[in-house]
Structure 1
Amino acid sequence: MTNLTETGFGYTDGDVDQNIHNTGPTLNELADQRYSRRQTLQRGGAAIVAATMGGSVLAACDSKTEELTAPTVNAGSAATTASGRTVTLTGTGAAEAYSWTQVAGPAVTLSSTNALTTSFLAPSVATATKLTFQLAAANSTGTAGISTVEVTVNPTALGFTAVAKNKNDVVTVPTGYTVQIGARLGDPITGSAAAYKNDGTDTGFANRIGDHGDALFWFGLSTTGTRDETSSTRGLIVQNHENINQQYLHTAGATSPGGVRPEAEALKEIECHGVSVVEYSEGASRAWTFSSTSTFNRRITPNTPMVFNGPVKGSDLIKTPYSPTGVAGRGTINNCANGYTPWGTLLTCEENWAGYFRRSGDNAARTAKELTALSRYGVTSSTGSYGWSTVVAADTANTTFRRWDARATGASALADYRNEPNQFGWVVEIDPYAPTSTPRKRTALGRLGHEGCWPGKFVAGTKPAWYMGDDSRREYLYKFVSNTAWVATDATATDRLAIGDKYLDAGTLYVAKFAADGTGSWIALVFGQNGITAASAVYPFADQADVLVNARLAADVVGATPMDRPEWTAVNPVTGEVYLTLTNNNAALRPLNGTDAANPRHYNDPYGTAGTAQYGNPNGHIIRIKETSTESLTFTWDIFAFGAGADLDATNINLSGLTADNDFSSPDGCWFGRATNASGLVKPIMWLQTDDGAYTDVTNCMMLAAQPGTVGDGGARTITNTGTGGATATQATRIGAAPGASLKRFLVGPVECEITGVDSTPDGRTLFVGIQHPGENGTPAAPSSHWPDSQATGTAGATIRPRSAIVIITKNDGGVVGL
């Protein structure tokens, strides 16, 4: 025990509790002194109590001093925690007033300063760091006591027990977490839409949440409704709506009498695509709701007016009857992954758009060059995915449906919609804070099957870059580098789309080439360079607009590395390393003798009880690259993790040593925690989501959390691949360190879903996750999932139709999700 005297007191760092009996000055005397942090340490915690108890206690301070049992303090069962976790300090004692203060370590915010119990969120630290807290107590006679406690905070670590694989019709999360349901397919987001019946009779989807919710992003709002990047309780969620479960949108499924789609059905399907902007807020007891009437709410559909920006604007290649000058278009479709800008806008990406168009039988009316481009992008369907072009509109001037017929039937491109496919496949910038603004298609970033457009680290004075996968087997990884170096003050500009003009309309598009030795290079896709000329035997390019419209062909010319279906890109906010999910490949497109170091596996993972063969790379992998800056033209690379069942051959297939706690297949969504909280600092969490067909005989799709190392933390490996008939071949590759316990399964979704889309509030305490197309293989009469209605109990009515929706996940103790 240490006595408090006028000459001060001390404490020993190793003591968890330090009880002090006060024989020193009265509270009146202490109250006359300043209560600075230094004076508090010198004069004792009774001064703090005096300041908090106020005059009612001070009036009795000249009474005879009485004995007070000083409080003891503890931080639960242990005084050790990790960054991002909630710590509760609980004092005990028999006093009339208490006061908590922090006296050492990185500053934290205490939930209460004048009660026996207080709590705080452990700060982000790079090494074990001690925080010291002091509890002072006093009664009306002026006696006082002080007790201190130390809490050691370690760097971030995954703080949950792995979720087991399962095939339940619910979203399963670890113990200690709560799932809430956010906006669902069909939910009204304007006052003009009626409540959703979910029986196939609903209409008006331009005012409702669309189907197949995909990538999403949180944009904070202040209490007054202005942009606030720090807000974690009110904000806008912008979500893509990639595709549809067509059968559930209509009473008894889709119809096509006489081969002609009904107008009402087709309009419903079209409007279910696109993007939604919806306001969310946190209420009492951490209950989250979304507003159905917010003035920010908005649907952007394939019918929404758009403008073109960048080098392709005005090109003959995008001129249509709707925009004879080639400067405008209608809508966005098959929006999958996304990206963002630091000036507060969303980048939505048009992925597998080609199949929506009807185009065949017009080869004689096309040039050889056109046929090469149409074939390379897959614009070859004789009907279009949903037959929208067959609609005979009641209004003969309505071209909403006619535009999906891309056949060359007229005298020129201004007499038909032959160029309409060229209006899709772009990155589209949207300002969610300006609901009347017109989205802009940023053509400098190239026309692909865009799967994401994620920014690298922004450094003042350095040209920023965005990284993009092209979602199809044997396609490529791209990087766009702006011509303009980053100016930090542009992050707070109010004319956000104008800032987009500055950074996104002029720059260089590159494609990646991976070398076997773990190095790689970015090759510029610029007219007149690297064989991209009018003399190219692959495709005779006319100009830079032609290069960007036909970026895949330009990448073919320069010899880029074909990848195993490139999907999402994500950038580690600390290291700047770029991650690319490679979902899978098959034997037809990645044969036994067709592997390479960056796409090294060929094997069989038998499916189901029948053991159906799945040769190729059915489980996929995640590759990562390291650059010296976003402007770099070279990089190093390795493979962070290989998807595989835990029971597969550890020598040649399960190369990452996955176990029952972390085995996965077909990685797709990928995102790092925000740098505004502990999950995105020091050693950030990477969230990994699956879109799986190869492993669904074992489990529904899932989301995992990882804390990756760095490129080069593993080494070279040579594996033996296997093909049909027992054939084998060796392949050298580069493998990162086995993830071990730094990769865990956090969530398993409902039946037949895809887990896609993830973001958090800036404080990391709320996670938003997209659940896409549950029950996709069912029928209106017999849905194969009933989620989200099934979430509460695991079951629901036999005819209740499933709906894509957002889930909102919080940690019960208020900590950062995942830590």
Structure 2
Amino acid sequence: MTDRYLITGYTDGDVDTNTSLVPSLESLAAERYSRRKTLMGGLGATGMAVFGTTMLSACGGSDDVDQSPVVTPGSVAATSAGRIVTLTTTTAADVLPGTWTQTSGPSVTLTTVDRTTATFIAPAVAAATDLVFTYNAPTQRGGTATASSTVRVNPAVLGFAAVPKNLNDVVTVPAGYTVTVMTRLGDPLASGVSAYANNGTDGDFDKRIGDHGDALHFFGLSSAGARDDNSNTRGLMVQNHENLNVQYLHPNGPTNVTSGARPQAEALKEMMAHGVSVAEYVDAGGRKWSYVPTSSFNRRITPATVMQFSGPAAGNAQLRTVYSPDGTRGRGTINNCANGFTPWATNLTAEENWAGYFRRDAGDIAPATSKRTAREITSLARFGVTSTSGSYRWSFVATTDTLYTRWNATATADSALQDFRNEPNQFGWVVEIDPYDPASTPRKRTALGRFGHEGAFVRAVSGKKVGVYMGDDARNEYLYKFVSNATYASADAGATNRLAMGDKYFDAGTLYVAKFNADGTGQWLPLVFGQVPARPASGSTPAYTFVDQADILINTRLAADALGATPMDRPEWTEGNPNTGEIYLTLTNTNAASRPLNRTDAANPRHYNDPKGSTAPVPDPATPPQPTNQFGNPNGHIIRIREAGDDTASLTFRWDIYLFGADSAQADANVNISGLTADNDFSSPDGLFFSRTSNAAGGVKPVLWIQTDDGAFTDRTNNQMLAALPGSVGDGGAKTITNRDSTGATATQATIAGAAASSATLRRFLVGPSQCEITGIDSTPDGRTLFVGIQHPGEDGTPSAPSSHWPDSQGNPAVGATVRPRSAVVAITKDDGGVIAL
């Protein structure tokens, strides 16, 4: 998702191949105290003396920083959704310990601490709502002392102080939160695998956590080891492994990265560090998390794992290779970026920047000397399979083993069944995995199309078609939607044959691509054979005529071009608001070459400069280094859509731009359109996650988490994660922007902007360690543990001089100077046990 340690020109999406009234708390308190005798069950003054009568003020001070009330019998208090409330009392000598019970209001779970104290988490509410609790205690005289307390719960608010931007080599979170490092690069996932030495000598990466952890999801397990979607104490963490900090994988970095034969052991290690991992996580009690290195559920899915093709393109001639003569099987998955998950508890992993891994010799690229057809050459060029070496030069291992030779996609023989010319076509898919069955074969779902898949958000509503929303992460690429033929039945969520449910909903349906109109409307254009014209010729590239539906699904970018879809500024993660059904899409950034002044549009409206300064020492103060210009849309934006009728199968939608990334130091209102401040400015939005609906943060107005993959102002802050309480499409209005390019020329662009941000609706929650990307996020169902991925800390360092020492640096400022960084997952918990962010 960002540029990585480059060996031979690896890119990560930075390419462009597309040419509300309630009574006051005070009155409530007055009423409560005027009725004390009634509340005390006729015990009179004696009864009142038994219990405390303190009235607590409404919680939430400045900045709505969390305050969790302690409530005593006969008192009233206020709090907000997601916060811990403690019900407690002290009793006189003649009163025995009693019991707290709830007598009115939305039902909550009371957790008994002792005979006088119980706690609960305030539930999600749409408006101020009263919950009444009664404490009953027997007396030594044979009577019962009784008193009730009222807790007014207000709608959710962000309950933490914003974390300042910083360049520290730790994960920084708000006061009152704790960070626990979980699985790290190289951690063992099987018996007999040694602890990770972290010096480049380790092997067996098919049994270890891979590198560059990306999207993740927590799948619950019961105490008996069965699927349990409600489990908060045990589960399977499924995480993608996108790419490599290859310099740290070997003792002195990789060898022969520009010429000569690659060492086979190095290439194998690099290959196996890609893919997907499944690791069991457990809570020992009180949210004390660890992972189980020898769990029978642990699994690594790598570029060597056998895959099954499923859907309309399975068996197509374009998928046939020496390894799979019938085009129905493949080996492995690569460059796994964002994800998706299904109601039937499978994981969707997306193959993103797969194209650069392949080698094509110069003669294979040139039409005059290539054994390929013009159609093949056009297809490969459109996907960017044009390297003469491949990112890691795996095909240069001196062996005939096809595990390595398949990365050479040059057409060397007379038939596709004799070489690996079609091997690139086996990648670029969404892969469905059953995390509960380590022996299952993952399935590549061809009906969802082939491109640089960032992720695949699944929206499933009972009685409607299943929708899958997907971004293609490269400059000037598109937003796609797949709609199932089958109508979703909620009973299918409990199916035990989970991949069969994927067959039902993902193998038959219609793939669409989005067109955004200037008036805030949009259409879904069907990518259906017979409805897609030939892609016109462009320069030296000939026209491309589609021959069948499989051809459209294998060459999805070409088909989207032909329909005139809207090119976007690197469309990355997709995520849906569980309350409104709106779909959010991050558009990470673009540059001047891909989005010049005369090629902005309403959905991608900005062209400006965000000069990047220098934090390096200044040798001569008289001549300080000049900032680096960054013209284009270097800070990115987040767009959202709402389907007509809130129906996944709709062919039209409305849209607006929810947030514009910007440096708050930018005074230009044409850039900082969302009114960001130092507490919430961000750049290059990437990962997205709405809190689960099973807890208060995902209730009436769910919290949206935004993760960044920034390079634009990383001279002043490491990458970050923000918490937001978004509105909905149409909460802002029309906006006209004046853009400016490097020559000083200006042009105006009309767009539709969402409501401006404020400290109440957007705050920075986390800042990561040096040179990392924040990517991957999920929580336990109760929202009391948040899991976050930290990818490639210290990516610009060397084996002898690492530029980060995280995660060893977390809580250890004296970490050794040569300790190598490792990508890792962290568990974040709230010290008082409440719901994260509230």
**Secondary structure of 1:265's aligned partner:** helix
2:353 — aligned with what?
352
Cross-structure match for 2:227: 227
Task: Quote the offset at 1:137 in angstroms.
Answer: 3.0
Aligned to 1:82: 80
| Runs of 4+ deviating beyond 6 Å | 18-22, 41-46, 65-68, 533-537
Relative to structure 1, is the Cα distance of residues 762 and 75 closer, same or farther in structure 2, using a 3 angstrom cutoff?
farther
CA contact (8 A) 2:136 2:144 kept: yes
Q: Which residue of 2 aligns with 1:724?
A: 742
- Choose which of 389, 399, 405 in structure 1 pairs with 2:408: 405
Pair 1:561 & 2:570 matched: no
Matches of 1:790 and 1:316, distance apart in 2: 51
* 1:136 CA displacement: 2.6
- Trace 1:452-601 onto structure 2 (pairs within 5 A): 452-456=455-459, 458-532=460-534, 538-601=543-606
* Shift in CA distance, 644/12, structure 1 to aligned 2, threshold 3 Å: closer
Q: Using a 3 Å threshold, how does the CA distance of structure 1 residues 757 and 162 change in structure 2: closer, same or farther?
A: same
Partner of 2:51: 71
Give the Cα separation in 1 of the matches to 2:456 and 2:42. 56
What is the rounded CA distance, in whole Å, between the counterparts of 1:640 and 1:814 in structure 2?
31
Tell me the SS of whatever aligns to 1:401: helix
8 A Cα contact 2:589 2:633, kept in partner: yes
Amino acid at match of 1:688: I
1:664 aligns with: 682
Task: Tell me the secondary structure at the aligned position of residue 276 of structure 1.
Answer: strand
Structure 1 residues 620-674: Cα deviation after superposition (integer angstroms, max 9, x where no partner): 0000000121000000000000000111134200000000110000000011011
**SS across alignment from 1:92:** coil
Moved more, 107-116 or 286-295: 107-116
Are the aligned partners of 2:234 and 2:282 in contact in 1 as well (CA < 8 Å)? yes
User: 2:613 maps to which residue?
Assistant: 608
Distance 1:244 1:19 in 2: 68
1:438 and 2:438 are equivalent in the alignment: no
Q: TM-score, normalised by structure 1?
A: 0.91
Amino acid at match of 1:253: G
Q: Give 1:145 shift.
A: 2.6
CA drift of 1:542 comes to 1.2
Secondary structure in 1 matching 2:776: strand
1:62-102: CA deviations, max 9, x gaps?
xxx99893212558554111111111123233233222121
What is aligned with 1:34?
none
Q: After superposition, where does 1:765-784 map in structure 2 within 5 Å?
A: 765-784=784-803
User: Which structure 2 segments of 5+ residues have no match?
Assistant: 1-26, 59-76, 615-625
Q: Matches of 1:626 and 1:773 in 2, distance apart?
A: 35
Residues 189-237 of structure 1 show CA distances to partners (whole Å, capped at 9, x for unaligned) of 1103111100000000000000000000011111111111111111101
Q: CA deviation at 1:103?
A: 1.6
Matched residue type, 1:483: N
CA distance in 2, matches of 1:288, 1:490: 31
**1:535 Cα deviation from its structure 2 partner:** 11
Match of 1:184 in 2: 184
1:731 maps to a residue whose letter is Q
Secondary structure of the corresponding residue to residue 740 of structure 1: coil
Q: 1:370: which partner in 2?
A: 376
What is the number of equivalent residue pairs in this alignment? Answer: 769
Which amino acid in 2 is paired with 1:98? Answer: G
CA distance in 2, matches of 1:13, 1:787: 51
Structure 1, unaligned runs of 5 or more: 1-10, 23-40, 47-64
Which residue of structure 2 lines up, in the alignment, with residue 449 of structure 1? Answer: 452
Q: Deviations over 1:142-168 (max 9, x none)?
A: 254322221110111111110000000
3-state DSSP class of the match of 2:751? strand
Aligned in 2, Cα 1:98/1:378: closer, same or farther, shift over 3 Å? same
Alpha-carbon distance between aligned partners in 2 of 1:532 and 1:446, rounded to the nearest angstrom = 18
Where do 1:322-401 residues align within 5 Å? Answer: 322-361=323-362, 362=364, 363=366, 364-393=370-399, 396=400, 398-401=401-404
Which residue of structure 1 lines up, in the alignment, with residue 620 of structure 2? none
Kept in 1: contact 2:40–2:145 (CA 8 A): no
Q: C-alpha separation between the residues in 1 aligned to 2:47 and 2:639? A: 67
**Residue number among 88, 91, 110 corresponding to 2:89 in the alignment:** 91
Question: Does 529-538 or 262-271 show the bigger shift?
Answer: 529-538
Q: Which amino acid aligns with 2:83?
A: R
Q: Which range moved further: 707-716 or 70-79?
A: 70-79
1:640 aligns with 658
Evaluate the alpha carbon distance shift between residue 45 and residue 218 of structure 1 in structure 2; reply closer, same or farther with a 3 A threshold: farther
Matched-pair contact (CA < 8 Å) for 1:703–1:755: yes
Whole-Å separation in 2 of the counterparts to 1:128 and 1:340: 34
* CA distance in structure 1 between the partners assigned to 2:719 and 2:439 by the alignment: 37
Q: In structure 2, the residue corresponding to 1:790 is in which secondary structure? A: coil
Q: Which residue number in structure 1 is paired with residue 635 of structure 2?
A: 619
TM-score by length of 2: 0.89
Contact 1:168–1:794 (Cα < 8 Å) also in 2: no
Distance of aligned partners of 1:368 and 1:86 in 2 relative to their CA distance in 1, 3 Å threshold: same
**Distance of 2:641 and 2:413 partners within structure 1:** 48
Name whichever of 78-87 and 684-693 sits farther off. 78-87
Instruction: Indicate if the aligned counterparts of 2:40 and 2:47 stay in contact, CA closer than 8 A.
Output: no
Contact 2:234 2:281 (8 Å CA) reproduced: yes
Q: In 1, Cα distance between the equivalents of 2:145 and 2:415? A: 90
Paired residue type of 2:601: D
CA deviation profile, 1:554-609 (whole Å, cap 9, x unmatched): 00000000000000000000000000000001000000111000000000000113
| Partner of residue 276, structure 1 | 277
Q: Deviations over 1:164-203 (max 9, x none)?
A: 0000000000011110000000000110311110000000
Summarize the Cα distance change of 1:42–1:70 in structure 2 as closer, same or farther, 3 Å threshold. closer
Paired with 2:327 and 2:527, the residues of 1 have a C-alpha distance of 22
What residue in structure 2 maps to residue 218 of structure 1?
218
Where do 1:6-405 residues align within 5 Å?
14-15=30-31, 69-74=49-54, 78=58, 79-94=77-92, 95-112=95-112, 115-256=115-256, 259-361=260-362, 362=364, 363=366, 364-393=370-399, 396=400, 398-405=401-408
Letter in 2 for 1:524: P
Equivalent residue for 1:428, pick from 417, 427, 431: 431
CA displacement at 1:14 relative to structure 2: 4.8
- Tell me how far 1:107 sits from its aligned partner: 1.4
What root-mean-square deviation, in Å, do the aligned CA atoms of Structure 1 and Structure 2 show?
2.1
Q: 1:503 is aligned with what amino acid?
A: Y
Output one character per residue of 1:516-555: Cα deviation in whole Å (capped at 9) or x when no partner: 0000000001111042589996311111111000000000
Confirm or deny: 8 A CA contact 1:719 1:732 kept in the other structure.
yes
